[in-house]
Amino acid sequence: MEAVVTFMVVMYFFETYLDFRQHKALKSEKLPRALVGVVSHEKFLKARAYSLEKSRFGFVQGAVVFSENIAILLLKLLPWLWDYSGTLVFKLGFDPENEILHSLALLAVTTVWAQVLGLPFSIYSTFVIEERHGFNKQTPWLFVKDVLMELLLAAILGPPVITAVITIVNKGGPYFPLYLWAFIVLFSLLMMTIFPILIAPLFNKYTPLPEGTLRTKIENLASSLKFPLKKIFVVDGSKRSSHSNAYMYGFFNNKRIVLYDTLIAQCNDESEVVATLAHELGHWKLSHTVYNLCISQILALVQCAGYAVVRNSRALFESFGFSVQPVVIGFMLYEHIITPVHHLVSFAMNLLSRSFEFQADAFAKKLGYGSQLRGALIKMQEENLSTMNTDPWYSAYHYSHPPLVDRLSALGKVEDEHRDEDITSAGGELKKDK
């Protein structure tokens, strides 16, 4: 426990240092040179104010969350919550020695606790910061409805998953890590299948994109890439926020594209929407989605194997104040002790993600959507009031997507390379003519 607390303190101060570096960059009143004449000064000032307010809010929230996590460990609140959960099970007339019921009670208590502690930050972020800068479209009732719906889904999906995990660990014998990993893979695939069909519609309305030139352009693009497009939906993201997005989902020959209504409204013309989708289809064509899925499952397997190493370590449980060794507590403690690995993996995945983003941009450019993608990126940067000035250390550590300056620069290099290829080709034709 002492090692875990020490690492948490070190990482908190390190990440706070990066936050200060970023905050200093945000205070700059000058646009990056590459964005001068590209992004309007009015939008820059609005984005600067929005980013600074979120940064100040982040300092407060980070300090509170850090203090809460440290207090939980140092005050031995986890053992207390475990005992308290057993008491609740007993008062409800059930056997507190039943590990599954005891664990479900603990997770119910911690979920409610997390909601209560996190609610003030969520409310302030939504109804003060987002509202002040023109993004929030939620009503208080919709906000409450979302929270209640999330809790209901947790209550429905949580018990069978926790029951399965505890049963696999306790009954799986020496090969339980493999069984547990197989369960995680199957559950992940199940959620990827049912989420867009059964769960996402509980929060938003998905309507088919009407017939028209935009639909025709998207279908022609998908057809040219042999993308097995089945349906195109427009989601009413504007009922919660004016931020924009687009994504695709589905397995094998049943792919679907989802456009946020805000994205369609923000782009100057339909070609910019198509260019955005050309970027997303680039991830598919270049197998980025497959790579990410495989990497995540490999990491899950490694985590399962690592958990098996510490599963029966009485010293580990005693260090955190436990005299028993329940499965769910074992996972909580295991997550604490592999936090350093999580930070390293997260950093590596961000590097990989940024590389994939550059590749997808280049793919869209090679399809002939370079200028349109450039316009879409600039428009989304302006309309979403995204950060213009970024500290290089902060962005390298935190960002999964490259800053706009870097993406525009890379698109320019792709244009230069294509121009050089055209010149070389033309030179060759002249030599042949001679």
Which tens digit of pLDDT belongs to each residue from 211-247? 888 889 999 999 999 888 888 888 888 888 877 778 8
**Which pLDDT score is estimated for 423?**
42
Q: Which of 261, 272, 280, 383 is catalytic?
A: 280
Q: How far is CA 62 from CA 59, 121, 266, 357, in A?
A: 5, 11, 32, 28
Positions in the chain short of pLDDT 70: 252, 268, 413-434
Q: Is 342 annotated as a binding residue?
A: no
Which tens digit of pLDDT belongs to each residue from 117-146? 999 999 999 999 999 998 888 899 999 999
Prediction pTM value: 0.85
Which among 308, 333, 313 is positioned nearest to 174, based on CA atoms?
308
Classify residue 265 as exposed, middle or buried by CB count within 10 Å of its CB (0-12, 13-18, 19+).
Answer: exposed
Tokens in use for 250? 């589905």
Q: Is 279 annotated as a binding residue?
A: yes
Q: Do residues 251 and 276 lie in contact, with contact meaning Cβ atoms separated by under 8 Å?
A: no
Classify residue 307 as exposed, middle or buried by CB count within 10 Å of its CB (0-12, 13-18, 19+).
Answer: buried
CA–CA distance, 147 with 140 (Å, rounded to integer) = 11
Q: Which of 130, 361, 383, 391 is catalytic?
A: 361
What strand order describes the sheet that includes 246-249? 206-208, 229-235, 255-260, 246-249
Q: Is 343 annotated as a binding residue?
A: no
280 assigned to active site: yes
**Which pLDDT score is estimated for 119?**
93
CA–CA distance, 376 with 382 (Å, rounded to integer) = 10
Which tens digit of pLDDT belongs to each residue from 355-403? 999 999 999 999 999 989 998 888 888 888 888 899 999 999 999 999 9
